[in-house]
Amino acid sequence: MRIALVHDWLTGMRGGEKVLQCLLELFPGADVFTLVYRPEQFDGMLEGRRVTTSFLQRLPFGKTRYQYYLPLYWGLMGGFDLSSYDLIVSSSSACAKWVRNPKKALHVCYCHTPMRYIWDLFEDYFGPSTSPWVRWPAEFFRPYLQRCDLKSNEGVTHFLANSTEVQGRIQRLYGRESQVFHPPVDVDRFKAKSGPGEYYLVISALVPYKKVDLAVRVCTKRNLPLVVVGKGSEEKRLKAMAGPTVSFKGWASDNEIPAYYEKAKALLFPGMEDFGIVPVESLAAGCPVIAFGEGGVKDTLKDGETGVFFQEQTEEALGAAMERFGTMTFDPAALREKAMPFSKARFLFRMQVYFRRLYGVQVQEENLKL
């Protein structure tokens, strides 16, 4: 039995790539298909694998500025020949599920989210502050890309969603049922912290939809210590609005992140995420979370037990939540226990059970690692 794993692009190790890493463990004989691949970013994760890339790999800046080729994704993904494969598993937050399925093989799509920038978050990515040379083409191609996205669903036999939030989007946008499989979180990298903490913490890409500016403004106005870990297009703007109590640490490696949680009072999470791996990592480190109470965090956090929710993405709402947090205490060991259901081991076990039940004898032991 031949198995194809399809991923949008392989240019860095983020949450979606950690799902792919687990799929590689589950299907040790599978081949990998992706738009572009930068092997230096993966520390041998795909060593010994057959990795097939699209023509985009050879285009100017294709491996680093692949987003600018968005209108070509339908044709690029359709260029892969999967006619000899019996099972297709796509890991998709953009276009991986757009691969053609001429053999009508079983195609399981693990959907991190329907493509944000052509559906719900178009204005966040291409709003009025965006250059007209970017926004106008995006507006022009948006209906075409939406049609491509909907058309591709004909080749998907089963959807898996990474949260109930994404499950709802799949139903609303695609009219399809899905089963929730929360993505794996490496909880073993963390241990429950000791002490009340010295500062509030943000760990995030510094991009508009993450709403890091809310945390920076609130902590600046209230003279509260805030440590911001991450980089992105918003960095210059955020630094300009930050007061002396806010410090920016830039990018941090996986090995450096636990030390930030150890000294944090709470993680501030003002954006809305599809799932949100960072809040679960915070719980694994025994650190409570002050979060905007929408999106994937509703699957992982509980107001009053793991921290505090606020219901509007405003400075006033976040400030009130931080005041409420100041009246509460949390047990780091109990918080860590809340993270355990989202471990990598549990994800692997659930996926093994799912594929065995779904495909039965079609998935032989040489294809599915137990």
Place of tokens 């899905």: 178
What is the three-class DSSP state of 99?
Answer: coil
Half-sphere exposure of 336 (CA within 13 A, CB side): 16
Residues 6 or more apart whose CB falls under 8 angstroms from that of 125 comprise 116, 117, 138, 208, 209
pTM of the model: 0.89
Give the chain's end-to-end CA distance (angstroms, integer).
Answer: 16
Q: Give the closest residue to 102 by CA, choosing from 81, 87, 72.
A: 81
Give me the residue label for tokens 């106008």.
136
State the DSSP string of 1-69.
--EEEEES-BSS-SHHHHHHHHHHHH-TT-EEEES-B-GGGTTTTTTTS-EEE-GGGGSTTTTTSGGGG
Provide the token pair at 221. 């106005």
Scanning the structure block, which residue is given the tokens 């109990």?
334
Distance CA 217, CA 224 (A): 10
Q: Which residues contact 256 (CB under 8 A, 6 or more apart)?
A: none
Dihedral sign for Cα atoms in the order 125, 128, 129, 134: positive
Looking at the DSSP bridge assignments, the partners of residue 160 are 110, 179
What string of pLDDT tens digits covers the 370 residues of the chain?
899 999 999 998 888 899 999 999 999 999 999 999 999 988 889 988 999 999 999 999 999 999 889 999 999 999 999 999 999 999 999 999 999 998 889 999 999 999 988 898 888 778 777 788 888 888 999 999 999 999 999 999 999 999 999 999 999 999 999 999 999 999 999 999 988 899 999 999 998 889 999 999 999 999 999 999 999 889 999 999 999 999 999 999 889 999 999 999 999 999 999 999 999 999 999 999 999 999 999 999 999 999 999 999 999 999 999 999 999 999 999 999 999 999 999 999 999 999 988 876 444 444 544 4
Strands of the 106-111 sheet, one edge to the other:
51-53, 31-34, 3-7, 87-92, 106-111, 158-161, 179-180
Helix (H, G, I), strand (E, B) or coil at 159: strand
Q: What are phi and psi of 306, to 5 degrees?
A: -110, 0
| Domains of the chain as residue ranges with CATH | 3-184+343-362 (3.40.50), 187-340 (3.40.50.2000)
Spatial CA neighbour of 248 closest among 238, 256, 263, 257: 238
Q: For residue 267, give the 3-state DSSP assignment.
A: strand
